Structures are given as structure tokens and as C-alpha cells.
Amino acid sequence: MEEAERLCDRVAILEEGQIVALDTPQALVHNLSTEDRVSFSLDGILSANLKEILSKLGELEVQGDRVVIQGTSKGKIQLVTAVVNALSDQRVTFHELRTEQPTLEDVFLKLTGRQIRG
């Protein structure tokens, strides 16, 4: 899917033999998948209070010491800004903060509800 995103001028996404989307990779990502991901690591555990606060920003997933929030930016406030503000307000030390933009694979998953077979 990464190759299609880099090399193709147009991409069609099929589901059960029907075209469900057809456009440039960039347009598909821009138009159909508006969620961003912010991930970071904590030195300790995620408190119940912080978990509740972060859950309001988007879908929260905890993977060991790694926290991932997937959601949309609200108005002029980017998701990453909201996450950093929440962590700072709670005086939580974090590291390895990363942001991830949606990909063509995210669009495929959103449209079909299925992972790409490898």
C-alpha cells in the first residue's frame, strides 16, 4: 500500500468486486480519513484520571508504556496540541512523542472494514 501511495497517480479501492473509491492517493487520504494519531511513552502507569481526560480527545489505546490516541483535531486546536496540553496540565512526564498522519491503508480499512492481506 505504501508503494501505491508513492507511485500511483490514481487508486481504486474495491470491495466485493465494486469500486468504493477512486481518486489520487493524496485525495483519498485527505477526503476519507481525517483522523490523526498521537503516541507517546510514559515512565509510569497511566492514571485513571489522565486516562479519562485523554479518552475525551479520541480513541485511546495503551500498549505497555506506550499510549496512542486516535482522533480528529477540533477547530484550530490540533490533536497533538490538545494531548500535550492535557499531559502538561496533569504534570505528566512523557517522551518519544510522535504524530502520524492517515495513510492509504487507513482509508482502505475505513472503507472496507478489513485489513489488507499480506
What is residue 34's predicted lDDT score, i.e. its pLDDT?
64
In the Cβ-directed half-sphere of 31, how many Cα atoms lie within 13 Å? 9
Helix (H, G, I), strand (E, B) or coil at 117: coil
Strand extents, DSSP E, the chain? 11-15, 18-23, 36-42, 59-63, 66-71, 94-100
Name the residue ranges covered by the structural domains of the chain.
1-34+103-118, 35-101
CATH of domain 35-101: 3.30.70.980
**pTM to 2 decimal places:** 0.68
Can you tell me the mean pLDDT for 4-29?
A: 90
> What value does the mean pLDDT of the chain take?
88
What is residue 100's predicted lDDT score, i.e. its pLDDT?
85
Q: What is the pLDDT of residues 84-98, one digit of tens each?
A: 999 999 999 999 999
